Structure 1
Amino acid sequence: MMCSIYKSAKKPDTYLYVPYETDFEDLPEGLIQVWGEPELVMHLDLNERQSLALCDIAEVKAKLEEEGYFLQMPPSEEEIAQLIAGKK
């Protein structure tokens, strides 16, 4: 499953995963209003990966199939502490 990852111009450390070559006009209008101008970070084949750094890859795939996008918000302080401790 190929996807494109964009970062938000308005929300730091917030990323939007969409199926490859998604038309942004097909996404919810409220999301785009809050998001701002998308900036492409990379294209990624999720089938060639077993994990992602800050999100559950199975959840990302499911959201892409069900809703057409996955929104990655910045990690909380607790999530950062868990990552540092190697518990996540």
Structure 2
Amino acid sequence: MTERLICQVFKSTRKDEMYLYVDKARGLQDIPEALSAMFGRPEPVMTVLLTPEKKLARADATKVIETIRSQGYYLQMPPPRDESKLDPHRAPTQDRY
């Protein structure tokens, strides 16, 4: 049986590139209070049908589905920042030679 889930995705108002995936039928009711406080006001981004075959930019769809089913949500954290790209005058952290 193929696991399918209609998922609502929200972006954080406090942290760039942080997203919260929830079961659309349950909404935000399973989100812990501490996570809600850290996340800020959730802004709806999209509704998507998740299947194991679905390609997501930064997450494995099967893992997202399993995590939503077990804890009620999936939190996608921002990617690690490459500090050397933020300041063009900063020396690289690794030798390229």
User: What TM-score, normalized to structure 1?
Assistant: 0.79
Q: Matches of 2:72 and 2:27 in 1, distance apart?
A: 10
Q: Which has the higher helix share?
A: 1
Larger Cα-atom Rg: 2
SS in 1 for 2:63: helix
Task: Report how many residues are paired.
Answer: 78
Using the aligned pairs only, state the percent identity. Answer: 37
Q: Which amino acid aligns with 1:46?
A: L
Secondary structure of 1:4's counterpart equals strand
Shift, 1:27, TM fit? 1.4
Check if 1:19 corresponds to 2:23.
Answer: yes
Measured in 2, the distance between the counterparts of 1:30 and 1:47 equals 29
Query: Structure 2: which 5+ runs fail to align?
Result: 83-97
From 12, 15, 24, the equivalent of 1:8 is 12
Choose which of 58, 69, 76 in structure 2 pairs with 1:72: 76
RMSD of equivalent CA atoms: 1.8
- Candidates 37, 44, 53, aligned match of 2:48: 44
SS at 2:54 equivalent: coil
Q: CA offset at residue 26 of structure 1?
A: 3.1
Is 1:35 the equivalent of 2:39?
Answer: yes
Unaligned stretches of 5+ residues in structure 1: 79-88
Shift of 1:49: 4.6
Match of 2:65 in 1: 61
Over 4 Å off, 4+ runs = none
